[in-house]
Amino acid sequence: MTSVSTLLADAALPTSEPILRPLMLQRWVDVVFLHWAYDPMVVQRLLPAGVTVDALHGSAWVGLVPFDMEGLGFPGLTPLPLVGTFPEVNVRTYVRAGGRRAVWFFSLDVDRLLPMVVARHLYHLNYCAGRVTHRRSGNIITSRVERRWPRSSDRATTSIDLATGPAIDPADELAQFLTARWGLISAARRGGLRHARVEHPPWPLHQAEVLHLDDHLLVAAGLSAPTVPPHVMWSPGVDVRIGRPHRLLRNYSD
Cα separation, 187 vs 185, in Å, equals: 7
Q: Give 112-125 pLDDT, tens digit per residue.
A: 887 788 788 888 99
Could you give the C-alpha distances from 248 to 4, 55, 56, 179, in angstroms and in order? Answer: 20, 21, 24, 22
Residue 126 DSSP symbol: -
The answer to whether 213 touches 163, Cβ cutoff 8 Å, is: no
In angstroms, the CA 218 to CA 60 distance is: 14
Least confident segment among 9-18, 92-101, 117-126, 199-208: 9-18
Q: What's the full length of the chain, in residues?
A: 254
- pLDDT per position as a tens digit, 188-229: 877 899 999 999 999 999 999 999 999 999 999 999 999 999
46 contacts 94 by C-beta, under 8 angstroms: no
pLDDT at 151: 86
Structural domains of the chain ordered from first start: 21-247 (2.40.400.10)
